[in-house]
Amino acid sequence: MSKFSPLVFRTSLMLEDTAVFCGAQGNKFLFSNENKLVQVWWPSSAEKIFPSSSSTDETSKTKQAMIMRRMVNTTHSPETLRSYVPIMDAMTQKHFATGWDGKDEIITYELTKNFTFTVACKIFVSIDDPEKVRYLCGRFESINLGFFSIPIDLPGTPYRRGIVAANFIRKELIAIVKQRKIDLAQGKATPTQDHCSKKLAAQPPWHQGLDEDGNGMEEYDIAKKILVSLIAGHDTTSSTCAFIVKFLAEFPQVYNRVYEEHMEIAKSKADGELLEWEDLSKMKYSWNVACEVLRLVPPTQGAFREAMVDFMYNGYFIPKGWKVIYIHN
């Protein structure tokens, strides 16, 4: 940015011609033109960690995408998100009781990372065994390190460890999805049990995993979507929670207002009564704090895109097929 331009400059990324858009202006431009001028793109090296399904023809990919969109609409609906609030509150209370209360010193990021991953495992696939969660969390660390490392696929490299870890967790998730289909068919699980059940329930008839035309997402595809969601939500949420704690510690006046807001909500609840969706709407100041932390320290430092058509940006011509990334300054 210092050498070329604080707005946009050209570089080469993984042997690809790339235009780098900088700052909030570039961020807004790319996201407001999603699937209009640009589309999501990942480096070819990422394919080894997150390989696509066996369906390679465009018709199959289009059908899979349509099924996935319907699944996302169902699994991320307001009603679904509301149902998660009491679960997350109960898990949060347990987390503070075991990890924070009475401690002379805490490692904030480690605690928030374990906490957010524990919540994700519970909500996505109903895994709540602490030992199982810790075991899987270590594998996810390897995936994250491998994904953002030099793609040298040799034994002992972070990239190879990331591939091995992703393959292991994917097999675990496929087994869970297969078993969940059986449990749903036999009435041993409910369609609203967790994210996995909701994804299967979004494909009527859910016990077959098919849509109305007889098309469905394979167990592999569902497992991959869950894996990507777990990774996407893990580091981003963990880092944001850790920085919220950091800034609250540095600005006691802000901490006091957050504390007062939460105590008002706590006083309105009976002993043992968990938070509900409506309680979150009362956390207006707390939400502003979270948004300010996201502004100051964005959880992701950029995104990969590809130009779908030729277009102009800030007086520069971006050819179709060029890769486009944005970075925060």
Mean of pLDDT values over 264-292:
95
Residues 249 and 1: their CA atoms lie apart, in Å, by: 33
**Percentage of the residues of the chain whose pLDDT score is greater than 70:** 86
Enumerate residues 6+ apart whose C-beta is below 8 A from 152. 159, 160
Poorest-confidence range of 48-57, 111-120, 143-152, 261-270?
48-57
The single-letter code of the amino acid at 324 is V
Show the tokens assigned to 252.
């006691």
| 194-to-175, 202, 275 alpha-carbon distances in Å | 16, 12, 19
Cα–Cα distance, 93 to 119 (Å, whole number): 12
For the stretch 127-170, pLDDT in tens is: 888 888 888 888 888 887 887 777 888 998 999 999 999 999 98
Question: DSSP per residue over 68-126, as a string?
Answer: HHHHHHHHTSHHHHHHHHHHHHHHHHHHHHHHTTT-S---HHHHHHHHHHHHHHHHHH-
Q: Cβ neighbours of residue 21 under 8 Å, at least 6 residues apart? A: 7, 8, 27, 29, 30, 313, 324, 325, 326, 327
Inter-residue long-range contacts of 298-303, CB under 8 Å, 24+ positions, other chains counted: 298/328, 299/235, 299/236, 299/237, 299/239, 299/240, 300/236, 301/327, 301/328, 302/326, 302/327, 302/328, 303/30
178-229 pLDDT tens trace: 998 888 888 888 888 888 888 787 665 544 444 444 444 578 888 888 888 7
Torsions phi, psi for 305 (to 5 deg): -140, 165
| 189, amino acid identity | A
pLDDT at 295 over 90: no
Domain limits, the chain: 1-37+308-329, 45-235
Mean of all residue pLDDT scores within the chain:
83
Contact 71, 203 (CB under 8 A): yes
Per DSSP, helices labelled H in the chain are 23-32, 46-49, 58-75, 78-99, 108-125, 130-147, 158-186, 195-201, 219-250, 252-267, 277-280, 284-296
Q: How far apart are CA 178 and CA 183, in angstroms?
A: 9
| pLDDT (average), residues 255-261 | 98
Nearest to 38 by CA among 307, 327, 329, 309: 307
pLDDT in tens, 3-47: 888 899 999 877 789 999 988 888 889 889 989 999 988 777 777
Bridge partners of 313, per DSSP, are 316
- Quickly count: other Cβ atoms within 10 Å of residue 273's Cβ: 12
DSSP character at residue 275? P
More confident: 7 or 72 = 7
CA distance 195 to 192: 8
**261 confidence band (pLDDT: 50, 70, 90):** very high
Q: What backbone torsions phi and psi does residue 48 show, to the nearest 5 degrees?
A: -75, -30
Residue 319: how many other CB atoms lie within 10 Å: 11
Q: Is residue 200 within 8 Å of 217, Cβ to Cβ?
A: no
Predicted pLDDT at 208: 47
pLDDT score at 95: 93
Q: Looking at the domain 45-235, which fold is it?
A: Cytochrome p450 (1.10.630)
Query: According to the model, what pLDDT value does residue 214 have?
Result: 42
Q: Taking Cα atoms as reference points, which of 141, 136, 172, 167 lies closest to residue 153?
A: 167
Per-residue pLDDT, averaged over 264-270, amounts to: 95
